[in-house]
Amino acid sequence: MFSSKTNGQSEQVTRMSEAQVKSVPSIISIDLKVQGNLSSNGEIQVDGNVEGDINCKALIVGTKGSVSGEVVAQTVRIHGAIKGQVKAKSVFLASSAQMSGDIEHESLAIEPGSFMEGHCKRTQAKAPKVAKPEPVAVKPAVKTQDVEAMPRAAAS
């Protein structure tokens, strides 16, 4: 009833839909309140309220969104409110942002009009460890005994 071509096409559709699902952000809508920690390998967009820690690749807090807890991500864009510590490679505070807490970052951008209360600490990108060269023993070319045994030139 089904040909192998149809099965091949359905497999391709399944693969495409899996790839598309992985790239879609997880959204906490405006009418949703979450109490607990969130963890994702992708992007999370918070338009509602989250009370807990967030660990993800990218976090966007919408203008009506709020987060109370620690945030660890590669990139964080704040248009709403965060109360807690933020650790990220790149942090952006929009003019509507309300940030209360410390920020550890490699890159930080703050638009005029945003509210920021806390400490900002810039961290360096971790450089790869370079092996230290081992000391090399140097042997003298001429031994002290050989110098004493050498004939001396006559002084003129």
pLDDT given for residue 144 in this prediction? 56
Nearest to 88 by CA among 77, 100, 72: 72
Per-residue pLDDT tens digits for 106-147: 999 999 999 999 999 999 876 555 555 566 666 666 555 655
C-alpha 69/C-alpha 38 separation (Å) is: 10
Count of helix runs (H) and strand runs (E) in the chain: 2, 16
Nearest alpha carbon to residue 113 among 95, 97, 128, 91: 95
Helix then strand then coil, in percent of the chain rounded to 5, is: 15, 40, 45
Closest residue by Cα to residue 41 from 55, 60, 61: 55
Tokens of 106: 């490699």
Digit-coded pLDDT (tens) for 15-64: 555 555 566 899 999 999 999 999 999 999 999 999 999 999 999 999 99
**Please, are residues 70 and 52 in contact by the beta-carbon 8 Å criterion?**
no
Which tens digit of pLDDT belongs to each residue from 136-146? 666 666 555 65
The closest of 98, 102, 97 to 84, measured between CA atoms, is 102
| Predicted TM-score of the model (pTM) | 0.68
**Structure tokens that stand for 133 in this block:** 């060269």
The structural domains of the chain, with segments of one domain joined by +, span 22-115
